[in-house]
Amino acid sequence: MTTLASLMSLEGRRALITGGAGHIAVAMAETFAEMGADLILVDWEAMQLDALAARIGDTWGRSVTIHACDLGNETERLAMIAAVKADGCGLDILVNNAAFVGTSGLSGWVVPFEEQSLDTWRQAFEVNLTAVFHLSQAFLPLLRAQGCGSIINIGSIYGELGPDWSLYEGTAMGNPAAYGASKGGLLQFTRWLATTIAPDVRVNAISPGGVVRGQPESFVGKYISRTPMRRMAVEDDFRGATAYLASDASAYVTGQVLRVDGGWGIW
């Protein structure tokens, strides 16, 4: 009899997570390590990952490899890809988690549509979509060779739904066109790739709702009022979804977008 424990085990597998220093990435890395996987963590500044790698090693005894890589830079992506391929340890799971989210102080980003710049549009697409295409293509031979390959793309509710501008009134927050458009492209790429590389490798996406990040009270109140679960997400909310999509528990699941949004997208 196949047990749920065996389906959920990642023993002997290896997962690469981009944007590895991010809040959700940390939760995913800890989850995969608990399930038995070794890890490759990628972020633009590797020093941010040292403490996480040490904690995972001490707690679960898993191997953690760190790579510094600006995913918006093709040359750096190529160097990271070559290093992963050269270490000879293979790859079973690719989590495209890194995202260009910008800041309110970035020129041409959180400004009226007429003022949003081509430069920030290009930067967002390079990280949020082009890098995902590049890494998925480059690592496909490794994922195929393992016989249980899984790609998980981290999208957004704003890749599926339009923004409610009333949420942002009275705050410095915004919702740039490039973010939603690039995340929408990522979700369609998920579907396209799933049909293209099946049955060797599965491809799915998670579409997160708003995550608590110290947003202004006015924003949080409005957001919660239109969320069925009556709260914003926290990092632990993403552990189950990533564990499911990475493991054999979802062996017959591909091309899907799993919303982890507290019901936001129901309305």
Domains, the chain: 4-260 (3.40.50.720)
Q: How far apart are CA 29 and CA 20, in angstroms?
A: 8
What pLDDT does residue 102 have?
A: 77
Q: 104 pLDDT band (50/70/90 cuts)? A: low
Question: What tens digit of pLDDT does each residue of 178-195 get?
Answer: 999 999 999 999 999 999
* Of 198, 188, 180, nearest in space to 132 by CA: 188
Q: What is the pLDDT of residue 99?
A: 95
Instruction: State residue 45's pLDDT score.
Output: 83
Residue 48 confidence class, pLDDT cut points 50, 70, 90: confident
Q: How many angstroms separate the Cα of 94 from the Cα of each of 91, 128, 211? A: 8, 15, 22
**pLDDT score of 216 more than 80:** yes
Examine the pLDDT at 243 and tell me if it is beyond 70.
Answer: yes
Distance of alpha carbon 265 from alpha carbon 228, whole angstroms: 10
Predicted local distance difference test score (pLDDT) of residue 187: 98
Gap between the Cα atoms of 232 and 70, Å rounded: 29
Q: Are 215 and 230 in contact (CB under 8 A)?
A: no
Q: What is the pLDDT of residue 1?
A: 87
pLDDT band at 46 (very low <50, low <70, confident <90, very high): confident
Q: Average pLDDT for residues 49-54, to the nearest whole number?
A: 95
pLDDT tops 90 at residue 201: yes
Catalytically active residues, by annotation: 179
pLDDT at 20: 96
pLDDT at 259 over 70: yes
What is the arithmetic mean of pLDDT over 32-45?
96
- Mean pLDDT, rounded, of the chain: 96
Residue 103 has pLDDT above 80, yes or no: no
pLDDT 10s digits, 139-171: 999 999 989 999 999 999 999 999 999 999 999
